[in-house]
Amino acid sequence: MSGNAAAGAAVKADAYGLGAARVVPVLVAAGCKDFFVAHWSEVPPLLPHVSAEHIAVLHGPVNRAEADFARSTGVRPVLNSLPQVQRWLAAGGGPCHVMIDTGMSRLGIESAQLSDPALFALDIDICLSHLASADEDTAQNAQQLARFEDIRRRIAARRYSLANSAGIALGTAFHADLTRPGIALYGGVVRPEFAGKIQPVAQPQAMVVQVRNLEPGDKVGYNALFSASKHIRAGILSIGYADGYLRCWTGKGNFLWQGRQVPVLGRVSMDLTIVDLTDLPDCDEGDWLSADYDLPAASAQSGLSQYELLTLMGQRYSRQTGS
List the catalytic residues. Answer: 12, 222
CA atoms within 13 A on the CB side of 200: 17
Beta-carbon contacts of 167 under 8 Å, excluding residues fewer than 6 positions away, are 131, 134, 141, 174, 179
Helices of type H across the chain? 12-16, 20-29, 64-73, 82-90, 139-154, 165-168, 295-302, 306-311
- Interhelix angle 82-90/64-73, nearest 10 degrees: 60
CA 198, 147, 195: angle at the middle one, nearest 5?
10
Backbone angles phi, psi at 242, to 5 degrees: -70, -15
CA distance 90 to 67: 9
Cα–Cα distances (Å) from 308 to 22, 222, 246, in that order, read: 20, 24, 10
Residue 31 class from Cβ within 10 Å (0-12 exposed, 13-18 middle, 19+ buried)?
exposed
Neighbours of 97 (CB within 10 A): 25
Residue 112 class from Cβ within 10 Å (0-12 exposed, 13-18 middle, 19+ buried)?
exposed
- On whether the CB atoms of residues 285 and 212 are closer than 8 A, the answer is no
End-to-end CA separation in angstroms for the chain:
27
Backbone angles phi, psi at 7, to 5 degrees: -110, 115
Cα–Cα distances (Å) from 129 to 141, 147, 175, in that order, read: 12, 10, 12
